[in-house]
Amino acid sequence: MMNIHPETKKTPLWITFLLAVSCGVIVANLYYAQPLVGPISTDTHIPLASAGFIVTLTQIGYVLGLLFIVPLSDLVENRRLVLAALAVVICALAAAYLAHTALFFLVSAMLIGIGSVATQILVPYAAHLATEKQRGQVVGNVMSGLLLGIMLARPVASMITDLWGWRAVFALSAVITTIPAVLLACILPKRVPIPTMNYGTLLCSLWQLFKTKSVLRRRSLYQACLFGAFSLFWTVVPLWLAHHFHLSQQGIALFAFAGVAGAIAAPVAGRLADRGWTKPLTGMAIGIAVLAFVITHIFEDNPVLSLTMFVIAAIALDMAVSGNLVLGQRAVYALGSDIRGRVNGIFMAVFFIGGAIGSAIGGWAYAYGSWWLASILGMAIPLAALLYYFTE
């Protein structure tokens, strides 16, 4: 297996496609449990008050992986690191399928989160493969696969659970995740970075990078706000759809499928970023996120038109988040190939923390003020990002 020589020739389309599919399959494992909290907590005897830990521990595991595993891609051979992370995911999915106690399942959930950071080794890996002129396009295409995985995970998990139960979701995912793992092991070129420091120094450098790289700081905070709004929306909207519009679980799953259309923004944003449009597109993405919450209050007295506005809002918000994600990644990857793994880990960790905060705020707001309060907070988060954007 030959080592890759980054930025010297165009990336073959089939490798980009393999990376995109792999990222989508892997990242979906983070989101399968979200619509299944009820049946999982019942079967594994997790108290209802603690059922939120099913999702929270997966998120905590992911952030830990971003901070402690992803930076290793600047030190060790990338293909081997990806395969080690995938081995953790596959074993954790099998453990989740077999889990019959709360502790067993919750530990499995955290390990699923830790191993799923394989995606965040593959995305900067794709940037290494690409030439400077096509980097935005390649990253955008790979991110389309990742975002499709995020958006399809919830409805697919709901539908599989309706047919065969929640355990089938984890069993099938363990099998499906094995397929790209085998393909990546056989096909992926090696990338051996040239280490400039040891692991301890590498970890200590994370805060220094965040403090000194203004582009990294800005892009991380922009995306944290957008992903916070995104997580708030998708935490609260299923509850509102069931309560206000009386949609069934299948209806909510179909609504979630509508949001998948937002993934088309990723490759488009990547191509436009390659042409130097990053700054205006960033402002547009943040503005669209704010408007997505505003339009949910149009036609409130007409259930059919109101539901239509919610569908449009879901698509618009997903487009804003996916488009801005690609813009941000392209910008931080340009900071240098020798720190690309670390800046990607920082970028993803910060915005994923934003998503966890958005989910928590959304649940609280919906409990105390229904969709009205939740939507106001959802609007305020990207509005704060827009005010920060105007200082750029």
Instruction: Give CA–CA dist 171/183, Å, rounded.
Output: 20
The CATH label, of 3.90.45.10, 3.40.50.720, 1.20.1250.20, 3.40.50.1100, for the domain at 13-389 is 1.20.1250.20
pLDDT score for 1: 43
Q: Is 84 helix (H, G, I), strand (E, B) or coil?
A: helix
Q: Is 54 helix (H, G, I), strand (E, B) or coil?
A: helix
Per-residue pLDDT tens over the stretch 54-110: 777 888 899 899 889 988 888 888 899 999 999 999 999 999 999 999 999 999 999
pLDDT-based confidence at 193, cuts 50/70/90? confident
Over range 287-305, report the average pLDDT.
Answer: 93
pLDDT score for 348: 85
pLDDT score for 48: 58
- Structure-model confidence comparison of residues 1 and 129, the more confident one: 129
Per-residue pLDDT tens over the stretch 128-181: 777 767 777 777 778 778 878 887 888 898 889 888 999 999 999 999 999 999
- The residues near 57 (Cβ < 8 Å, ≥ 6 apart) are 106, 109, 110, 113
Token pair recorded at residue 66: 């971003």
The answer on pLDDT for 315 being more than 60 is: yes
- Structure-model confidence comparison of residues 23 and 126, the more confident one: 23
Instruction: Give CA–CA dist 22/122, Å, rounded.
Output: 9
Report which residue type is found at 10: K
Orientation of helix 265-274 relative to helix 278-294, angle to 10°:
150
Percent of the chain at pLDDT > 90 equals 40
Instruction: Give CA–CA dist 209/217, Å, rounded.
Output: 9
Q: Where are the domains of the chain?
A: 13-389
pLDDT score for 51: 64
Instruction: Give CA–CA dist 355/224, Å, rounded.
Output: 7
Range name among 251-255, 258-262, 271-275, 285-289 with the lowest pLDDT average: 258-262
pLDDT score for 37: 73
pLDDT-based confidence at 2, cuts 50/70/90? very low
Nearest to 138 by CA among 319, 9, 277, 17: 17
Instruction: Give CA–CA dist 224/141, Å, rounded.
Output: 21
CB 177 within 8 A of CB 26: yes
